[in-house]
Amino acid sequence: MLRTFRIGGIHPPENKLSAGKKITALATPKQVIIPLSQHIGAPAQAVVKKGDLVKVGTLLAKAGGFVSANIHSSVSGKVNKIDNALDASGYKRPAIYIDVDGDEWEETIDRSDTLVKECSLSPKEIVDKIAAAGVVGLGGATFPTQVKLMPPPGNKAEIVIINAVECEPYLTSDHSLMLEKGEEILVGVTLLMKAVNVNKAVIGIENNKPDAIAHMSGLAKNYPGIEIMPLKVQYPQGGEKQLIDAVIRRQVKSGALPISAGAVVQNVGTAFAVYEAVQKNKPLFERVVTVTGKAVTTPSNFLVRMGTPISCLIEAAGGMPENTGKIIGGGPMMGKALISDEVPVCKGSSGILLLTKEESVRKPMRDCIRCAKCVNACPMGLNPTLLMTATEFQNWELAEKNFITDCIECGSCSYTCPANRPLLDQIRLGKGKVMGIIRSRKS
């Protein structure tokens, strides 16, 4: 019997319209806009100025703190300016504008397709190379990878878990990456294992990707300690705590980190980026992005340079459908509506979803009928309707007491609500407020 996590979960329609589509490299635009905040933590600090000439892979900005990440140029050309630009959050934040001229790469990057399996580096040297390359979690959270590989005192890793479930509807970037770069991913996993000094890794793949499971299982026979684990299809299995529960049957306590359960969890795209960083000296300046939607002419998986306006991706997938109601950055469950198609692709851009006007209209909200569907669906064991009410009445003590900060913002509650109540919207507001209160209390 296939494993899955044991609390909550839902089964939204998968709509994997771009499954089976090969990864296509997108042409570089005339100008890229590279935000300095492409990760959780402190923004990176620019080390270039207007007029500087840069190559593909040139360091543009250094990590601005312990939890931060370097940012590199995805193109060659001249720095036009450093100014504010719209990002996926809808706010204007500092970014570096680069006018593209040719495609000249830094000489230190190995551009060959030759697989490099052997690595003589020490664990610290591997972590340092990952940090230098600006690698972050590519599943959407964008947590700096090197920080995860340095467990706090008193914690020891026992297993590396690779998140290849891609449970978010519509998205297929991880699926396509496994089919085309499976061997490189497995080398990346061995590097992660060495970095945290463990001899076991599990790659969890949901059972709706039988071709990826078969392909990766065949390759993994040559990589000791790596197991491919098919998992039952259930959303949101891509959440760290849910995946740990599914794979090793351990619950992460409220407020605790995954390392407290002995697990280091990394996305499958991150494992590939680790391979490129350590074995090819290639910084993270491009990634696979799914462009999809029921009205999209050609749902596709594109290899895209960071800073490319999403309008270029939409055009390459057949153009903007006339009946487009919303552009979603990410998938329909956890993604957020974008206010412009000129928002640039960043490290956390896993997909672009175009919803039709009919799909994007919210239904009228009605009174809660106390059906408890949201409670049954919550993968964190919370009471979403109580947390929404606490937020509406600004009862922050009640919200904190009922673990609002444990919410992973998966949207399962809103999806199941027959009264169409905006549970996640309210809980997200309340969570932000309570976290601010906690921070001020600690300071």
Cα–Cα distance list, 87 to 6, 69, 94, 348 (Å): 36, 17, 9, 11
Determine contact, residues 228/217, Cβ cutoff 8 Å. yes
Burial class of residue 11 in the structure, from the number of CB atoms within 10 Å of its CB (0-12 exposed, 13-18 middle, 19+ buried): exposed
Rounded to the nearest 10°, the torsion over CA 45, 47, 49, 52 is -150
**Phi, psi at residue 177, to the nearest 5°?**
-65, -40
Q: How far apart are CA 248 and CA 161, in angstroms?
A: 9
Determine contact, residues 413/384, Cβ cutoff 8 Å. yes
Burial class of residue 367 in the structure, from the number of CB atoms within 10 Å of its CB (0-12 exposed, 13-18 middle, 19+ buried): exposed
Determine contact, residues 200/160, Cβ cutoff 8 Å. yes
- Two tokens at 379? 């993968």
Q: Which residue has the tokens 């960043």?
A: 346
Determine contact, residues 126/194, Cβ cutoff 8 Å. yes
- Two tokens at 161? 């878990």
Q: How far apart are CA 291 and CA 353, in angstroms?
A: 6
Determine contact, residues 97/80, Cβ cutoff 8 Å. yes
Residue 293's contacts (CB-CB under 8 Å, 6 or more residues apart) are: 17, 170, 299, 321, 324, 353, 354, 355, 356
Determine contact, residues 166/206, Cβ cutoff 8 Å. yes
pLDDT in tens, the chain (443 residues): 899 999 999 999 999 999 999 999 999 999 999 999 999 999 999 999 999 999 999 999 999 999 999 999 999 999 999 999 999 888 899 999 999 999 999 999 999 999 999 999 999 999 999 999 999 999 888 999 999 999 888 899 999 999 999 999 999 999 999 999 999 999 999 999 999 999 999 999 999 999 999 999 999 999 999 999 999 999 999 999 999 999 999 999 998 999 999 999 999 999 999 999 999 999 999 999 999 999 999 999 999 999 999 999 999 999 999 999 999 999 999 999 999 999 999 999 999 999 999 999 999 999 999 999 999 999 999 999 999 999 999 999 999 999 999 999 999 999 999 999 999 999 999 999 999 999 999 98
**Phi, psi at residue 120, to the nearest 5°?**
-100, 5
Record the pTM. 0.96
Nearest one of 170, 168, 174, 141 to 38, comparing CA atoms: 141
Supply the pLDDT for residue 37: 94
Supply the pLDDT for residue 81: 97
- Two tokens at 325? 């109601």
Q: Read off the DSSP letter of residue 43.
A: P
Supply the pLDDT for residue 1: 86
Q: How far apart are CA 336 and CA 104, in angstroms?
A: 34
Supply the pLDDT for residue 183: 98
Q: How far apart are CA 193 and CA 158, in angstroms?
A: 10
Q: Read off the DSSP letter of residue 44.
A: P
Strands (E), 268-415: 286-292, 300-305, 324-329, 336-337, 351-356
Taken as a whole, the chain contains a residue count of: 443
Nearest one of 235, 247, 225 to 168, comparing CA atoms: 235
Cα–Cα distance list, 233 to 14, 82, 237, 250 (Å): 10, 44, 8, 19
Amino acid at 363: K
Residue 145's contacts (CB-CB under 8 Å, 6 or more residues apart) are: 130, 131, 135, 136, 137, 266, 270, 273, 274
CA atoms within 13 A on the CB side of 91: 5
Cα–Cα distance list, 415 to 10, 11, 420 (Å): 9, 10, 8
CA atoms within 13 A on the CB side of 54: 30
Supply the pLDDT for residue 229: 98
Determine contact, residues 343/33, Cβ cutoff 8 Å. no
- Two tokens at 143? 């947590």
